[in-house]
Chain A
Amino acid sequence: MQSLSNRKKVVSDKPMTFMEKLYLPAIAGGMWITFKHLFRKNNTLKYPEEQRIFAPVYRGMHVLKRDEEGRENCTACGLCAVACPAEAITMEAAERVKGEEGLYREEKYAATYDINMLRCIFCGLCEEACPKEAIFLTDRIVPSEFERDEFLYGKDQLVEPMNARIDVTKRQHTGQRGTK
């Protein structure tokens, strides 16, 4: 039978020859291999100083988007929480009252919206489930903390600030509002 790769070797248990018993040639060969590694380029990335370039569709820390006029897209439908396999998302819905039209895009909005970043597996199913283009995963990294409760991200950390909008135009699930 033809082998799939050319690296197939027939194993034999024939006794070692004298040269093999000496071990010294094999040791020299091994040491030559490690010696060659001395001059090889390392692949280390010195993390805090330099960062890896992420793909545009990298699934990192979430963002709750606002629309062009600065209104929150999220209507607290709960589809993201249903889709979430890790059950990391919880929210409470509230009704928009008069005078809040500039804050929330539709009549219903999320009063609280929490993602437990320790539960989250960054699968991106919430982004996929969202019918309102409200939640996206970004190429930002969730920073490490010393306390567990600091990983419970509320709206203050998730909703994008008006003065520092987060660009998600390269994500896969943009521009699909209404088609889904």
Chain B
Amino acid sequence: MDSGLIIEKLILVGIIFTISLLIAMYATYFERKVAAWFQDRIGPDRAGPFGILQPLADGVKMFMKEDFIPSNSDKWLFILGPGISMFTSLITSAIIPWGEDLTIFGSSVALQVADFNIGILFIMGVLSVGIYGIMIGGWASNNKYSLFGAIRASSQMISYELAMGVSVITIVMMTGSLSLRDIVQDQHGMNWNIFYQPVCFIVFFVCALAETNRAPFDLPECESELIGGYHTEYSSMKLGFFLFAEYVSMFISSAIIAILFFGGYNFPGMDYFSGNTLAILSVIAFFTKIFFFIFVFMWIRWTLPRFRFDQLMHLGWKSLIPIALINLLITGLVIALNKGWF
């Protein structure tokens, strides 16, 4: 590997890292705004014009708070928990193709840190590791509410990962590749997967809600019963990391939904552009889709009430998995018929 490529990738990593954090930061602000709009309120508007400095104020507040570690807790695991959560949320952004190739100084720059040929598998794997952050955090707190929250989180995430995996397999079967770049390029222009796989999309979307612990699946942290769930004992920036990781993973899952079903950086009429114009337009198209899905995540949160835990399990195991499997079977049959295997 030559040094130019390493520098290029390092710069890209830096940019993506910054953008992920920035978007997550403003997602917290935007969440409060959206909540306010849905409830006929104004929302935060004191810090700066329209309150756009609110995330900074929140961050400063988080840092200034007392960083408390309960004496009965397992100190190292207690510190490790939020770290794992944050790490796993951020690392998935490495394999997301953000746009068409840019041309800078005559050399082509891929807007993707690493094009794994097992991209989607990597995401599923990292998602599974993400449970450990919550699990370890809840366990190490040595608090029954935290433990309850952690158990709920892990059982919920494991259950929904199955249906999610099956719906991902459906898309992989249609594309014939596990690489995210191939999946995106397969949906060139307006040839998006959502038009072929609406059922698969619904299953995947519901699972994505559950995987990111967003309402109506926010049972691990329900305030009313578990007083915060796995982060009951956390304070200061460790709590901030847990909350922040949720917003980062919301951003990443919006990106993945856009990639799998809404054509990633493809947009209708993209054949009329070429070169850097196309690259920039494609990035804009991709981020528009991501922002739309972040909005939908918030929209759902401020509309639907929380599930009961048995309803959650019922939905996951008895509805989503069979639907995903039947959908997989039908897709397989259609592909086989198209290829003339019978």
Contact = CB atoms under 8 A, between A and B. Distances in A.
Contacts of B202: 24
A37 B40 CA distance: 6
Interface stretch (A2-10, A26-34, A109-117, A164-172): A26-34
Interface string A93-132: 0000000000000000000000000000000000000000
A30 B41 contact: no
Interface residues of B, number: 13
Interface string B298-317: 01101110000000000000
Contacts of B39: 37
B299 A31 contact: yes
Contact of B41 (A34, A35, A44): A44
Contacts of B303: 27, 30-31, 33-34
B195 interface: no
A42 interface: yes
B50 interface: no
A30 B215 CA distance: 14
B42 interface: yes
Contact of B300 (A31, A41, A42): A31
Given A31-B299, A44-B42, A38 B304 contact: no
Given A31-B300, A31-B303, A38 B41 contact: no
A42 B40 contact: yes
A40 interface: yes
A35 B40 contact: no
A43 interface: yes
Given A42-B42, A44-B42, A37 B37 contact: yes
B208 to A, nearest CB: 15
Nearest to A36: B38
A24 B320 CA distance: 13
B147 to A, nearest CB: 31
B38 A34 contact: yes
Nearest to B45: A46
B35 to A, nearest CB: 10
B300 A38 contact: no
Contacts of B300: 31
A34 B42 contact: no
A43 B36 CA distance: 11
Interface string B186-217: 00000000000000001000000000000000
Interface string A37-56: 11011111010000000000
Nearest to A32: B303
A18 to B, nearest CB: 13
Contacts of A41: 40
Nearest to B34: A38
A34 B301 CA distance: 11
Nearest to A40: B40
Contacts of A30: 303-304
A118 B130 CA distance: 51
Interface string B21-44: 000000000000000111111100
Interface string B280-306: 000000000000000000011011100
Contacts of A34: 38, 299, 302-303
A119 to B, nearest CB: 32
Nearest to A33: B303
Contacts of B302: 34
Contacts of B37: 37-38
B38 A38 contact: yes
Contacts of B41: 42, 44
Nearest to B202: A24
B220 to A, nearest CB: 22
A37 B43 CA distance: 14
Nearest to A29: B303
B244 to A, nearest CB: 25
Interface of A: 24, 27, 30-31, 33-35, 37-38, 40-44, 46
Can you list the 5 inter-chain pairs with the closest CB atoms, starting with the nearest?
A34-B303, A44-B42, A42-B40, A34-B38, A30-B303
Given A41-B40, A42-B36, A42-B42, 14 more contacts: A24-B202, A27-B304, A30-B303, A31-B299, A31-B303, A34-B299, A34-B303, A35-B299, A37-B38, A37-B39, A38-B38, A42-B41, A44-B41, A46-B42
Interface of B: 36-42, 202, 299-300, 302-304
6 contacts: A30-B303, A30-B304, A35-B299, A37-B37, A38-B38, A43-B40
